[in-house]
Amino acid sequence: MDQFRPERAEPLSPARRRACINHVRNQFKVSERRACRVLGQHRSTQRHIPKGRADEDRLVTDMIELARQFGRYGYRRIAALLRDAGWSVSDGRVERLWRREGLKVPAKQAKKGRLWLNDGSCVRLRPEYRNHVWSYDFVHCRTDDGKVFRTLNIIDEHSRECLAIKVQRKLNSTDVIDALTDLFILRGAPKYIRSDNGPEFVAKAVRDWITAVGAATAYIEPGSPLSGHRHAMPCRQCMGKRILRELQWTDEG
């Protein structure tokens, strides 16, 4: 029979017991005497009006200020800081006020592990010389008339040189191959070409063509957003005139 016996609940604080009895009285319309007798509360405890200490407001203010300054500290370390500041206060009292004010330590963010590709190579491949690693990606924007256009930006990660900016209203995997072909003829093929997992870059035609010319792909895994934006910085200075020129040619064509 012991296995069916309910576990004993933790005792409630006097304040919560007073609130419980008041709720029972309002719900069932019974007297204070009967509610206290059934729930095991002394009537003197029920009628007692708690009075906080005279310095409690200042203590709470100092506690909240320290919690704001030291966001990773719990109530024990805050209590130690309060005692260092001259307060004669115990950990228990600080804990009670801490819980009453709804303070808590933010949960730690899990550290992200190092990302690796399926073939064992590291996503964060560091360029060591020219034509070692190229990066390319699309940038979306709108002209004054509200029409969308895309720019394909290609850079050399080692020299930070903007190799090409291709601007059109629509760009697909065929345009990616065309842009890379022109660069390969002028500069030769790099060892790695880095991009995100966009459909234009992971298309089978693009991957097969890059492999055929002797280069390797290094895709940016999800969870590394900063790596995907490094290509855009060197291209901003030369982008404006080229966008206007190529868009004008595209609209006239």
Provide the pLDDT confidence category of residue 101 given band limits of 50, 70 and 90.
Answer: confident
125 within a domain of the structure (yes/no): no
127 within a domain of the structure (yes/no): no
What is the SS3 string spanning the chain? CHHHCCCCCCCCCHHHHHHHHHHHHHHHCCCHHHHHHHHCCCHHHHHCCCCCCCCHHHHHHHHHHHHHHCCCCCHHHHHHHHHHCCCCCCHHHHHHHHHHCCCCCCCCCCCCCCCECCCCCECCCCCCCCCCEEEEEEEEEECCCCCEEEEEEEEECCCCEEEEEEEECCCCHHHHHHHHHHHHHHHCCCCEEEECCCHHHHCHHHHHHHHHCCCEEEECCCCCHHHHHCCCHHHHHHHHHHHHHHHHHHHHC
The answer on 235 and 178 residing in a single domain is: yes
Q: Which domain holds residue 38?
A: 10-47
The answer on 244 and 139 residing in a single domain is: yes
159 within a domain of the structure (yes/no): yes
pLDDT tens digits, residue range 196-230?
776 665 667 788 888 888 888 776 655 444 444 44
Provide the pLDDT confidence category of residue 2 given band limits of 50, 70 and 90.
Answer: very low
Does the pTM of the predicted model rise above 0.85?
A: no
244 within a domain of the structure (yes/no): yes
Q: Domain holding 214: CATH number?
A: 3.30.420.10
The answer on 246 and 161 residing in a single domain is: yes
- Counting the structural domains of the chain, the total is 3
The answer on 166 and 81 residing in a single domain is: no
117 within a domain of the structure (yes/no): no
123 within a domain of the structure (yes/no): no
The answer on 174 and 221 residing in a single domain is: yes
The answer on 209 and 145 residing in a single domain is: yes
The answer on 164 and 78 residing in a single domain is: no
Residue, of 218 and 2, whose pLDDT is higher: 218
